[in-house]
Chain A
Amino acid sequence: MTGALSKVYFFLIGVFLALPMIVVAGVSVNEKQTLAFPPKGFSLSWYGEIFLNPEWRNALFASLTLAILSAAVAVAIALPLAWFLWRRIAPWANIFQLLGIAPFTLPPVITALGLLTFWATTGFYGQPWTAVVSHAIFFVTLPLVTLSLGFTAIDRSLVEAAATMGADDRTIFRTVVLPLILPYIVSGYAFAFVLSLNEYIVAYMTVGFTMETLPIKIFNALRYGYTPTMASVTILFVATAAVIFSLVARFGDLPKLLGAMSSDDT
């Protein structure tokens, strides 16, 4: 397509993607507790509020703890599974690959409701750790996909070469496979972490009545009264996501992670 036309098109898409965030950023620096744009006055106090107001601070800590732990559990589930599927010939084990991809592919309400009935039936409903397990299952898809991609990118002759040089299975994993798969572990963790931080419905259905994560807190604030802190939290979230994904892009090969061919096989 002609250059000018595509530039206009990209500009419009860019505006569409950025506009809500620009307005929210504007709203977040309002001086008074009113929803107004363009902002009236300038104040960063609503950003301070996230850390100073105990309610918001607790929600922030709850969200961070949940994201850190659940992403770790998700990776712990995905890594051995992806490794096994790459290491062994076991077609029937692909069923677990499918099970790992299903929770994220189905409408989230389904997974959320399934987990809600499960926790209610088993009597653990409302326990904070159930949210960690729930998020780990819900987001296991992300590390599973990045790790599967990462394993297919490992040249099998590297593993064979290590074996001919005297390395047993365990040594090969430690000295060859792990160093090569590490960038994919990190990006899989990053994806799961960011999405867990933002997740609402699964957290709400499992621990919504006993624990407030940031998205739950924002939603409650949205229903029961506006405060500009919602806007500042939103901007904080967007910035966190952008920083983390930029880091992934900086230290890994983002296009390759998202399914493009390797950049170095030109």
Chain B
Amino acid sequence: MSGLVLNNVTKEFGTFTAVNNVELTVPHGTFVCLLGPSGCGKTTLLRMIAGLDLPTDGAIRLDDKDITKVPTHQRELGMVFQSLALFPHLTVGENIAYPLRIRGRAKEEQKKRVEELLAMIHLSGYADRPVSKLSGGQRQRVAIARALSISPKLFLLDEPLSALDAKLREAMQVELRQLQQKLGITTIVVTHDQREAMTMADTVVVMSKGEIRQAASPIEIYRRPADTFVADFIGSTNLLEAEADSAGRVTVLGQPVSGVSLGAGVSKATLSIRPEDIHLTAPGNGALAGTVTFVRDLGGTIETFVDIAGRQIVAVSTPRARPEVAVGQPVGVMLLPDVCVVLAK
């Protein structure tokens, strides 16, 4: 099939396994985010796709061709580095033209392409500026334009927006996604920012300790996390231990709940319930009994902290549905079966 396929890709540095047995398929034209905490192996994985590191084991295929050992410069890539890696001795235009220049394209063609790309990144007329005279956001755009100047088969970005301030970063995320959709280019972005991944990706690949924990669409990852790590890493959640007896009756934190099933023959599991899915009511009526410990009113949302048997649970509600609670008062926590995600222990 066309696209990028990773088979059993493993990278060891001495005795440390940075990437362990990764299987991943990236269909042509999709936008994939490699997401995970620092040290999870996402950058190493990206560098292997770029050929900047060699896998210890496994194969990388691009459009049905094995590129595992193909040198970086023959892979027809575009890559944006975390440091951006703009050449300080070249101007904006010369940076963008670099891939064309070393391929020996005609001067006229280089010039035309640079102008196209500068227009695309809204920096027309900047060709002769030195890169040192640009702002952070402008440098970012130049790095992107340079990576795209040969219309690469793969567009790789390593934490591309990490140097920008929060506001600019959010704007760039939208811009980058729109650009990718317009060009239809296969794109892989490494990030540790889950908001960034949710904003841009078709497929989010959550990694931890060198392994892929889940690869799915952003909403699937959020709604149906594969395990407690993913549930906890993506957004915030309440993780509650649940037990089932032989009759299938479920207790959570020692209190019986109805309507929730852990699955046939499962006696212990963890329930993941997003804060916005927690419904606070009066005590009783099958709700878990707890005590309100703190209320954080952020204006747009209200976070209520509830203590149940020594465990802290967070519920988020909108001002319209402001719960009738007060610190120190007993409260009931309703677990609605359809929002509880059952995760294997």
Please determine if A and B sit in direct contact within the complex, based on CB atoms under 8 angstroms apart: yes
Q: Is A55 an interface residue (CB 8 A)?
A: no
Q: What 1/0 mask marks residues of chain B from 150 to 174 whose CB sits below 8 Å from any chain A CB?
A: 1000001000000000000000000
**Which listed residue (B52, B71, B98) contacts A165, Cβ 8 A?**
B98
Interface segment among A4-12, A142-150, A154-162, A225-233: the answer is A154-162
Q: Is A123 an interface residue (CB 8 A)?
A: no
Q: What 1/0 mask marks residues of chain A from 164 to 203 whose CB sits below 8 Å from any chain B CB?
A: 1111100100011001100000000000000000000000
A4 to B302, CA, bound (A): 63
Best-surrounded residue of B50, B78, B102 (most CB of chain A within 10 A): B102
A158 to B131, CA, bound (A): 14
Q: Is A238 an interface residue (CB 8 A)?
A: no
Q: Is A163 an interface residue (CB 8 A)?
A: yes
Q: Is B293 an interface residue (CB 8 A)?
A: no
Nearest residue (CB) in A for B89 is A179
B102 neighbours in A (Cβ, 8 Å): 162, 165-167, 171, 175
**Which listed residue (A158, A163, A179) contacts B52, Cβ 8 A?**
A163
A175 to B99, CA, bound (A): 11
Known contacts being A157-B81, A160-B81, A175-B98, is A167 close to B89, with CB within 8 Å? no
Q: Is B296 an interface residue (CB 8 A)?
A: no
A176 → chain B closest CB, angstroms: 6
Is the interface on chain B under 10, 10 to 19, 20 to 34, or 35 or more residues? 20 to 34
Contact call A180/B89, Cβ cutoff below 8 A:
yes
A167 neighbours in B (Cβ, 8 Å): 73, 98, 102
A162 neighbours in B (Cβ, 8 Å): 87, 98, 102
Known contacts being A171-B102, A175-B98, is A163 close to B73, with CB within 8 Å? yes
**Which listed residue (B76, B83, B87) contacts A166, Cβ 8 A?**
B76
B83 neighbours in A (Cβ, 8 Å): 155, 157
A161 neighbours in B (Cβ, 8 Å): 79, 81, 85, 87
Q: Is B77 an interface residue (CB 8 A)?
A: yes
Q: Is B42 an interface residue (CB 8 A)?
A: no
A96 → chain B closest CB, angstroms: 26
B92 → chain A closest CB, angstroms: 15
**Which listed residue (B73, B75, B82, B87) contacts A168, Cβ 8 A?**
B73
Q: Is B146 an interface residue (CB 8 A)?
A: yes
Q: Is B138 an interface residue (CB 8 A)?
A: no
A168 to B102, CA, bound (A): 9
Contact call A166/B156, Cβ cutoff below 8 A:
no
**Which listed residue (A164, A179, A180) contacts B156, Cβ 8 A?**
A164
B182 neighbours in A (Cβ, 8 Å): none
Nearest residue (CB) in A for B75 is A164
Q: Is B14 an interface residue (CB 8 A)?
A: no
A175 to B90, CA, bound (A): 10
Contact call B87/A164, Cβ cutoff below 8 A:
no
B146 neighbours in A (Cβ, 8 Å): 165
Known contacts being A155-B83, A175-B102, is A163 close to B72, with CB within 8 Å? yes
Q: What 1/0 mask marks residues of chain B from 61 to 104 whose CB sits below 8 Å from any chain A CB?
A: 00000000001111111110111010111000000001101110
A158 to B87, CA, bound (A): 7
Nearest residue (CB) in B for A166 is B73
A171 to B101, CA, bound (A): 11
**Which listed residue (A158, A168, A175) contacts B85, Cβ 8 A?**
A158
A7 to B77, CA, bound (A): 59
Contact call A160/B99, Cβ cutoff below 8 A:
no
Taking Cβ atoms with an 8 Å cutoff, the residues of B that contact A are: 50-52, 71-79, 81-83, 85, 87-89, 98-99, 101-103, 146-147, 150, 156
Smallest CB-CB A-B distances: 8 pairs: A161-B85, A165-B99, A164-B79, A163-B72, A157-B85, A179-B89, A157-B81, A164-B77
